[in-house]
């Protein structure tokens, strides 16, 4: 630690500790979100709301002793996520489950944002692990808060470290949210055009052509939407067709993007029936997933260890794909075949265990077996990426049915997965709608990687006294 720093016990920094009654709360299908340990990560600023369960309002009011407040620090103290730390956002829209507590800083003793940052630091995370009382299920007891000592610099230093660390976390969180929005927009747009065939339905309705019974319900919604759009356009002074259409599409849940007329007209206005996919746009082809892209399996990289420890590639397995970066836990020779090396922007598909598809943004790495590197010399990346994502739910179902062995799919399942394919010249016209969304998402994630590296390199240097506040301010000014 810095030479002028003392230490303070966590227990002496707190004004209040929030927890539940030590029992499992009755769960509901809806209600008030219940944040559990799987919602907390040292990689996110705030709890992740996508994986929550719910409790009733009555449970919320009576089951828990108290509830977190904005600015409290959530700390998991049991299980595989033991030691994970997040902030409580404003407004508070959840209660906390077992195996975690919300720590309310005593502001007269410690800066709240510094408490958040220092609990995330490697030195304190290591101390938490050393206080674990069970090697099978790690457990950091609340009664040991007086044994967990934190570096304790001057108030000025606390406030600088807290602000700098929080700034980086907020920027990373904002980028994460932007990235989620971009991916959702692209997936919704792709589904509308290549799965639900909305532009083709619109053209068929406009031309008075027959709508297949299988598409009749969606056609009725599209027609109602068109009429609503026209009425809104007529009633709203100063609103353009694009404005009202976009709003109407949003209101009805039919996510879409208003097409320029020259693009809209390039979509067919009729459907034809096929044995492989049922009704598809007239003139479009049908291809299997392994025809529109190449699915290159990775290698058993334990057979390809580096000859020189200073010259290697980090290995990416399913765990690293989930994390989004190569942690260097395993290393491989850089001399493996290029087809099994991935870099930023490559599409990776985990076909065994936890099936998932991602655009890799974790740097140059070696791809382990059970992961596909997905490429194509013929079709654009957005096209094979989103059709792989489209079929992922079915692949996950197939894998889940394999109760005896680890769930996985076979190459035959790639051949059985069908895709509707327009002409290549038309697909090129559609790329400007998808390429910017994909490129922005990749750039956002790459920026996050750089921010995380800088944040996590500056914090230990500040704590050790290796750099001073003026030095850190100068480094931040150079990159921000």
**For 6-153, CATH number?**
3.90.220.20
Contacts of 400 (CB under 8 A, 6+ apart): 407
3-state secondary structure 285-300: EEEEHHHHCEEEECEC
Q: How far is CA 290 from CA 149, 294, 383, 438, in A?
A: 56, 6, 13, 21
* pLDDT values of the chain reduced to their tens digit, one per residue, 480 residues: 555 689 999 999 999 998 876 567 788 888 999 888 888 988 888 988 777 889 898 888 877 778 899 999 999 988 878 899 999 998 888 888 888 899 999 999 999 999 999 999 999 999 998 887 766 777 888 888 999 999 999 999 999 999 999 999 999 999 999 999 999 999 999 999 999 999 999 999 999 999 999 999 999 998 888 787 766 655 544 444 334 333 333 433 434 446 888 899 999 999 999 999 999 999 999 999 999 999 999 999 999 999 888 899 999 999 999 989 888 889 999 999 999 999 999 999 999 988 999 999 999 999 999 999 999 999 999 999 999 999 999 999 999 887 556 789 999 999 999 999 999 999 999 999 999 999 999 999 999 999 999 999 999 999 888 888 888 888 777 766
Query: 3.40.1390.10, 3.40.1190.20, 3.20.130.10, 3.90.220.20: which CATH number matches 291-421?
Result: 3.90.220.20
Contacts of 341 (CB under 8 A, 6+ apart): 313, 334, 364, 365, 366, 367
Sign of the alpha-carbon dihedral angle for 395, 401, 407, 413: negative
- Please give the Cα distance from 421 to 173 (Å, whole number): 36
**Model-level pTM?**
0.84
């Amino acid at each position: 630690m810095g030479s002028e720093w003392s230490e303070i016990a966590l227990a002496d920094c707190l004004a209040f500790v929030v927890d539940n009654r030590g029992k499992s709360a009755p769960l509901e299908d809806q209600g008030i979100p219940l944040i559990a340990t799987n919602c907390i990560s040292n990689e996110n600023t705030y709890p992740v709301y996508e994986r929550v369960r719910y409790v009733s309002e009555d449970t919320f009011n009576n089951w828990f002793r108290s509830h977190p407040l904005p600015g409290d620090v959530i700390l998991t103290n049991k299980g595989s996520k033991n030691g994970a730390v997040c902030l409580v956002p404003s407004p508070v829209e959840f209660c906390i489950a077992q195996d975690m507590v919300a720590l309310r800083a005593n502001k007269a003793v410690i800066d709240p944002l510094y408490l958040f940052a220092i609990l995330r630091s490697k030195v304190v995370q290591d101390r938490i692990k050393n206080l674990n009382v069970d090697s099978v299920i790690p457990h950091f007891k609340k009664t040991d808060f007086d044994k967990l000592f934190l570096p304790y610099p001057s108030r000025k230093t606390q406030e600088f470290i807290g602000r700098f660390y929080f700034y980086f976390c907020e920027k990373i969180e904002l980028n994460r949210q932007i990235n989620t929005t971009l991916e959702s927009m692209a997936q919704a747009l792709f589904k509308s055009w290549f799965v639900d065939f909305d532009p083709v339905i619109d053209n068929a309705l406009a031309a008075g052509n027959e709508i297949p019974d299988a598409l009749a319900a969606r056609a009725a919604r599209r027609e109602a939407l068109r009429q609503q759009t026209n009425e809104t356009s007529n009633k709203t002074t100063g609103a353009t067709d694009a404005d009202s259409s976009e709003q109407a599409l949003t209101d009805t849940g039919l996510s879409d993007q208003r097409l320029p007329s020259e693009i809209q007209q390039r979509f067919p206005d009729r459907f034809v029936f096929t044995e492989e996919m049922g009704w598809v746009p007239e003139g479009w082809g049908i291809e299997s997933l392994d025809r529109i892209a190449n699915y290159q399996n990775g290698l058993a990289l334990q057979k390809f260890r580096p000859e020189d420890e200073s010259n290697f590639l980090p290995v990416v397995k399913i765990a690293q794909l989930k994390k989004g970066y190569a942690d260097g836990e395993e290393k491989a020779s850089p001399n493996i075949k290029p087809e099994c090396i991935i870099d930023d922007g490559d599409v990776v598909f985990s076909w065994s265990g936890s099936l998932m598809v991602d655009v890799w943004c974790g740097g140059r790495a070696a791809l382990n077996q059970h992961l596909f590197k997905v490429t194509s010399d013929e079709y654009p990346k957005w096209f094979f990426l989103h059709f792989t994502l489209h079929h992922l739910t079915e692949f996950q179902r197939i894998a889940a049915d394999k109760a005896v062995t680890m769930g996985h799919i076979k190459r035959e399942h790639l051949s059985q997965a069908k895709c509707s394919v327009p002409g290549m010249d038309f697909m090129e016209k559609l790329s400007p709608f998808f390429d910017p969304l994909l490129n922005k998402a990749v750039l956002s994630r790459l920026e996050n990687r750089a921010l995380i590296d800088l944040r996590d390199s500056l914090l230990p240097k500040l704590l050790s006294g290796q750099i001073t506040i003026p030095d850190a301010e100068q480094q931040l000014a150079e990159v921000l």
